[in-house]
Structure 1
Amino acid sequence: MINVLFAALPERWVTYEAPLTKAFNDLGLDVDLRIDFAPHEVDYIVYAPNSPLQDFTPYTRCKAVLNLWAGVENIISNPTLTQPLARMVDHGLSQGMREWVTGHALRHHLGMDLHIKGQDGEWRDYVPPLADDRRVTVLGLGELGMACAKALHGLGFPVTGWSRTQKEAEGITCLCGEEGLGKALSTADILVLLLPNTAATENLIDADALAAMPKGAFLINPGRGPLIDDEALLAALDTGQIAHATLDVFRVEPLPVDHPFWAHPNVTVTPHIASETRPSSASQIVAENVRRSENGEPLRFLADRSAGY
């Protein structure tokens, strides 16, 4: 019998119990899945970083912590976490992010807000350029960033991607390093942020980075709130250096009602919905990692503590 502890907010247990049970059964795993094991009995922890469980010291038998979120920045530096930590990478997350990013990229590219918000009797004769002439930059070429870069390339946009280490993808200009970042920003008519939140990426999009972009560029952030210097972005929006920012993530969530982003006419706020973990597909990833561990195979999507994600 494999003892699996589900450690997340109580409302998540309601949505995950059945799909996790099915996923374990489908792989022929003999699993006891609960929310109330004694720590010394636990073999695996299915985990959300906002769980009350923050001290992993008593879980001496635990072989791995299997995260339900793509982001691990809120747990990876926990000094009590000595077990392997696996990130969540699944079809549902990738597909959801592709849909949200391409939808908002097309919205800005086509100038849809001009007509959606402008139903006032004025005939606005605006013809957008073709995608061939609108350059997109994606910062972050992990699973989600690469999925979005490929989708945007498929729509005809010239796509540049930037990452900490060199990546390769057909049809996409892949850059890395400080010099590569400057080049990536200089061609970002639309900038998509899909970097993790680390010490190296916090405030990466500051006044200098925004000034390096083409005037009138669009910014889309479904990655992490601290990637952006909020004050610098507001200043760039006020001058027209940035035409519009669509933001799904923030330093404080929910975004405080008095935050200037709410009132700014050139900011769109969405409530951290760009990509949500779907219980059915996420459960399959969790079950597969348990199966791999029990068979002596390496876990998939292990977090890199030295890199912070």
Structure 2
Amino acid sequence: MAERLGTLVFSSDFDDFATWKNALQAQLPDLQVVHASAIERPEDVRYAMVWKPPAGFFERLLGLQLIINLGAGVDALVARSDLPPGIPITRITDPQMSRMMAGYVLFAVLRHARDIPHFEQAQRRGEWAYRHPRAPDETTVAVLGLGQLGAMAAHEVQRQGFRTLGWSRTLRQIDGVQCFSGMETLDDVLGQADIVVLMLPATPHTHQLLDRNRLMRMRQGAALVNVARGSLVDQAAMVDLLRSGHIGAATLDVFTQEPLPRDDALWSLPNVLVTPHLASVAIPASSAQQIAANIVRVAQGLDPDNRVDAERGY
């Protein structure tokens, strides 16, 4: 089995190698797991587990059979010039990641629906600024992107009693969520929402999908939550509209440039919450079983599950 499985190489500056190695070898004791900095025989590497590996990373891995992306978004990976053609790429679809993402989205929605930014600003002024709460069904939340993560987030939002709209490229069906599809419906969805949640993949079709004109389609004072990718939004236009109050507030976990530069205007806007791309991350203990199953499938000459369509970008 050891000879048949071969070696997995790990490359990520954001994930702990030892934790992932232990989790994988608990599932596949015969799998050799090495860090990218310690590869002695690149020709033995059959599997690569990566998150934003350095340029040229794949050029030496001539025996590669599977690439495992350490996360749900694969936009940075499929755009690389050194990506070997024809090698299957898989994403992690751990239910724990979906729960983590849904929890973050629900936190952000509740924060805006209950006007918490208003009270945070009032606290800094030392002001007792009462604002009467609204019933959940008086707030409309639009979730743009209804893949695995988006669908669970929309489900959790509607469970709290919010009027919930969903929008995606192709029509989906989610209990309690009014679903729309196609570009011809997007402006109408934006115009109905008090809170807009971005959960779309980053592809050429979604690049700056929310440009200045489309951001202006949002209701005056509506809130924006972005847990997808910074490239979905015209960030400069967003900043202008946050300053003017057309966008009332924002919770942002992703940005055009990451880490967000220290001099970026978003840091100092009082109606913005910045978090460092942590809404959902892969958890080794719960993800390793899925990854191990795909390694075994590939070793047996079978196609892996959760394969990414590199041309579509997701």
TM-score, length of structure 1 as denominator length: 0.91
Query: CA–CA distance in 1 between the matches of 2:65 and 2:254?
Result: 32
In structure 1, the residue matched to 2:8 is 5
Structure 1 outlier segments of 4+, above 6 Å: none
Query: What aligned pairs does 1:136-147 form with structure 2 within 5 A after superposition?
Result: 136-147=141-152
> For the residues of structure 1 that align with 2:34 and 2:104, how far apart are their CA atoms?
34
Which residue number in structure 2 is paired with residue 261 of structure 1?
Answer: 266
Aligned counterpart, 2:43: 40
**Could you say which residue in structure 1 is the equivalent of 2:109?**
105
Deviations for 1:59-115, whole angstroms, at most 9, x for unmatched residues?
333221111121111111334322000012112321111111101110110112333
Q: Size of the alignment, in residue pairs?
A: 304
User: For 1:289 and 1:37, how far apart are their aligned partners in 2?
Assistant: 24
In the TM superposition, 1:128-167 aligns within 5 A as: 128-167=133-172
What is the distance in 2 between the residues matched to 1:176 and 1:81? 34
Gaps of 5+ in 1: none
Which residue of the other structure, out of 250, 254, 269, is the alignment partner of 2:255? 250
Shift of 1:57: 4.4
Q: Indicate the SS of the match to 2:16.
A: helix
1:121, distance to aligned residue in structure 2 (A): 5.5
- Alpha-carbon shift at residue 53 of structure 1 (Å): 6.5
Equivalent residues in 2 for 1:179-194, closer than 5 Å: 179-194=184-199
Q: Does 1:124 align with 2:129?
A: yes
For 1:1-309, list aligned pairs within 5 A.
Answer: 1=2, 2-9=5-12, 12-25=16-29, 30-35=30-35, 36=39, 38-49=41-52, 51-52=53-54, 54-79=56-81, 80-82=83-85, 83-119=87-123, 122-309=127-314
CA distance in 2, matches of 1:125, 1:266: 18
Give distance in 2, aligned partners of 1:12 and 1:52: 17
Matched-pair contact (CA < 8 Å) for 2:7–2:44: no
Letter of the structure 1 residue corresponding to residue 159 of structure 2: G
Is the contact between residue 242 and residue 249 of structure 2 (CA under 8 Å) also seen in structure 1? Answer: yes
- Separation in structure 1 between the aligned mates of residue 61 and residue 135 of structure 2, nearest angstrom: 56
Looking at structure 2, the residues matched to 301 and 81 of structure 1 have their Cα atoms a distance apart, in angstroms, of: 18
Under a length normalisation based on structure 2, what TM-score does the superposition of the two structures give?
A: 0.90
Which amino acid in structure 1 is aligned with residue 31 of structure 2?
A: V
For 1:289 and 1:126, the matched residues in 2 are separated by 52
SS of corresponding position for 2:196 = strand
Task: Determine helix, strand or coil for the equivalent of 1:98.
Answer: helix
